[in-house]
């Protein structure tokens, strides 16, 4: 089985359960290489209490391009949640949604305070509005800031900004555009947050993730 596990569950399952906790009942998984293994494990989602559909990315399209590929699943939804599938996290989507609605935003970003933003990049805020995205910068180190946690509430209007069948990054292209137009907000609204994109981070997540200590 390809799926990496933390506390005896695939990482992706933790994300599905998080979405379900806040009322999501239909899930679309954007999948690519070896997608058959993911489909075999999760199936139609019935055993997890949700309906699961699959959007299969045959060529690399980036995070925004992959979302555009799955547009047919969201075109009748006013808003939806989008998350990275390679992290375990505890997001308070209700708090994020209140800001999203109050500011009539096109996107709301769950943010995490961190003591060192040099390895992850960070965002600048003016009130609840995100004004800038700062790239990773090894200097200065140990500078506190807020980082993107890979969990968003998005208006379906965002789909109109993404070209079809083209590689586009939502983090590097779409979000900075929204920020420049005062259409993107963000707030710190997480409890636990563990990345798993390196062996060191994966081991830390396996040791420290506590599913009984969620929001």
Active-site positions read 136
Closest C-alpha among 194, 93, 195 to residue 151: 93
Report d(CA 195, CA 160) in Å as an integer: 30
In 3D, which of 185, 124, 111 has the Cα closest to residue 155? 185
What distances in angstroms separate CA 57 from CA 15, 30, 51, 53, 70, one per listed residue? Answer: 20, 7, 20, 13, 9
- DSSP three-state, residue 188: strand
Query: Which pair of structure tokens corresponds to residue 11?
Result: 């990482």
Q: 122: burial class by Cβ within 10 Å (0-12, 13-18, 19+)? A: buried
Cα(89)–Cα(72) distance, rounded to whole angstroms?
Answer: 27
Q: Where are the beta strands (DSSP E) in 156-209?
A: 184-188, 190-195
In 127-210, the DSSP E strands lie at 129-134, 145-155, 184-188, 190-195
């Amino acid at each position: 089985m390809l799926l990496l596990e933390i506390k005896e569950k695939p990482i992706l399952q933790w994300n599905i359960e998080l979405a379900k906790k806040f009322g999501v009942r239909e899930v679309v998984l954007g999948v690519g290489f070896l997608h058959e293994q993911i489909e075999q494990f999760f199936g139609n989602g019935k055993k997890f209490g949700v309906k699961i559909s699959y959007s299969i990315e045959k060529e690399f399209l980036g995070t925004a391009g992959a979302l555009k590929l799955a547009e047919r699943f969201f075109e009748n939804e006013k808003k939806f949640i989008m998350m990275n599938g390679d992290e375990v996290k505890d997001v308070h989507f209700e708090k994020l949604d209140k800001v999203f609605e109050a500011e009539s935003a096109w996107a709301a970003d769950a943010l995490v305070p961190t003591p060192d933003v040099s390895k992850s990049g960070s965002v600048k805020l003016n009130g609840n509005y995100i004004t800038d995205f700062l790239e990773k910068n090894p200097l200065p180190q140990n500078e506190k800031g807020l980082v993107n946690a890979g969990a968003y509430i998005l208006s379906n209007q965002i789909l109109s900004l993404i070209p079809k069948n083209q590689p586009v990054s939502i983090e590097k292209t779409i979000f900075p555009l929204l920020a420049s137009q005062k259409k993107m907000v963000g707030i710190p609204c997480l409890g636990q947050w563990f990345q798993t994109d390196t062996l060191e981070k994966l081991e830390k997540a396996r040791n420290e993730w506590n599913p009984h200590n969620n929001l």
